[in-house]
Amino acid sequence: MSLKFNGKLFLILLGLVISFGIANSWDDINLPDKDGDGIYDKLEIAAGLNPDLDECQPSNCKDVSIYGITGDEYLIIILDQSLSMNDAMTESSTKMQSAKSVVKSFIQRNPPFLKLGMYAYGQNDCSALDEVRSPFTNFSKEELLKDVDTLEPRGSTPIAATLEKLREELRGKKGKFNILLVTDGVESCDGDPVAAAKSLTSINTLDTGVKLFIAGLKIPPGQGKQLEQVAIASQGKYYPIDSEAEFKNIFDPPLKEIIKNLEGLVCLQIELDKLIKCEKDRMNKIRLVSNKKLINPFNKDFTPEEKEFLRIEIPKLETKAKGRIDDYNRIRHEGSNKHKKKIVDLSKLLKPGS
């Protein structure tokens, strides 16, 4: 009996023999992803893709982030409860009293489709934030208004710990999360808020989008610089609040961001076919690398450890790509009319001239 030589099977078996002694831990593997598209640079280069550019971005909607574009719109309010919020904002009210008034006014006008959540820090000194109302639970405006009334200044300013805890709350959740942090001071609990802000936005994906807006209440210029750096680290915005009139506009920046995101969904309608084709073409190139280079023990593009690692990772990439294609098809099915209506409703909440 003669056996027919199967070259491909031989390469597969030889690859398995070579990788047999490789440990299942890949802690030493360093595969960067410079363009943040979820595909390792080395894999993109092997597939003939550009590691510095996400090829499957909407070219005509460049000002719009696709992070979290498949989910709902959220506005999460974080209110400073540190003791200094007892200081005067105006001749007739403290910072906390002014904050409560502005927040409650917004809650009463908030449209149903914009999901609200609220947290506060300072009540337990440096032990991070307390949940007032989770954005992932159902509650009435009346319940949230009552909760706001109970907040009182009494502690410190753990901004870093707050952002770290919020990161864990939002990780893996679907949606565009615009976070408004209202504070009258900088970090006072020895944390690193800039690093925490960068870590917060590191969870951004097609499913999850996070951006931080910081309203600083009567902050000295030197301290304001720190808060500005925190906001920039999260790709957000810092804006100083020095008067009652400015205080009333604190919701305008996150509202404008939400409106911009909705305009992006309208814009995407004309690009969906191209995006879906791009996702399919990109994964076909990745599969080709998997079928030809990763199973070839003589290929020098990857180390044996990297080959073993990528053989496990590529099916995960395929699942994510399929999920993006499904989401794009859903966006197309929904059409743009409902997004246009949301834009109109939110625009009514903006202060004139803002």
20-37 tens-digit pLDDT:
444 445 456 788 888 878
Q: Give the chain's mean pLDDT.
A: 86
Are 321 and 190 members of one domain? no
Whole-structure pTM value: 0.76
Are 48 and 167 members of one domain? no
208 belongs to a structural domain: yes
Confidence of residue 17 (pLDDT cuts 50, 70, 90): very low
Q: Which of 261, 281, 308 is the last residue of a domain?
A: 261
Total tally of structural domains belonging to the chain: 2
Are 242 and 275 members of one domain? no
Are 310 and 254 members of one domain? no
Residue 6 tokens read as 């199967």
Cα distance between residue 13 and residue 6, in whole Å: 11
User: Rounded mean pLDDT of 246-264?
Assistant: 91
67 belongs to a structural domain: no
280 belongs to a structural domain: yes
Q: Which domain holds residue 278?
A: 38-60+270-347
Are 250 and 303 members of one domain? no
Are 240 and 341 members of one domain? no
User: Rounded mean pLDDT of 104-128?
Assistant: 88
pLDDT digits (tens, 9 = 90+) for 55-96: 888 777 766 666 777 678 999 999 999 999 999 998 899 999
- Using CA atoms, how far residue 24 sits from 20, 29, 118, 301, 346, in Å, is 10, 12, 42, 21, 51
Are 192 and 229 members of one domain? yes
User: Rounded mean pLDDT of 205-234?
Assistant: 90
Cα distance between residue 324 and residue 38, in whole Å: 12
Cα distance between residue 322 and residue 234, in whole Å: 28
65 belongs to a structural domain: no
Which pLDDT does position 312 carry in this prediction? 92
Are 121 and 254 members of one domain? yes
Are 221 and 129 members of one domain? yes
Helices 95-109 and 141-150: angle between axes, nearest 10 degrees: 180
3 belongs to a structural domain: no
In this structure, how many other beta carbons lie within 10 angstroms of the beta carbon of residue 194?
Answer: 20
Which pLDDT does position 210 carry in this prediction? 92
Confidence of residue 206 (pLDDT cuts 50, 70, 90): confident
Q: Which of 238, 261, 284 is the last residue of a domain?
A: 261
Are 141 and 252 members of one domain? yes
Which pLDDT does position 50 carry in this prediction? 95
CATH code, domain with 157: 3.40.50.410
276 belongs to a structural domain: yes
CA atoms within 13 A on the CB side of 79: 29
Are 174 and 294 members of one domain? no
Q: Which of 261, 279, 301 is the last residue of a domain?
A: 261
Instruction: Give the residue with greater pLDDT, 230 vs 206.
Output: 230
pLDDT digits (tens, 9 = 90+) for 299-322: 999 999 999 999 999 999 999 899
Are 238 and 317 members of one domain? no
- Tell the burial category of 208 from Cβ atoms under 10 Å away from its Cβ (0-12, 13-18, 19+): buried
Which pLDDT does position 278 carry in this prediction? 95
Cα distance between residue 223 and residue 200, in whole Å: 21
8 belongs to a structural domain: no
118 belongs to a structural domain: yes
Q: Which helix (H) or strand (E) holds 121?
A: strand 115-121
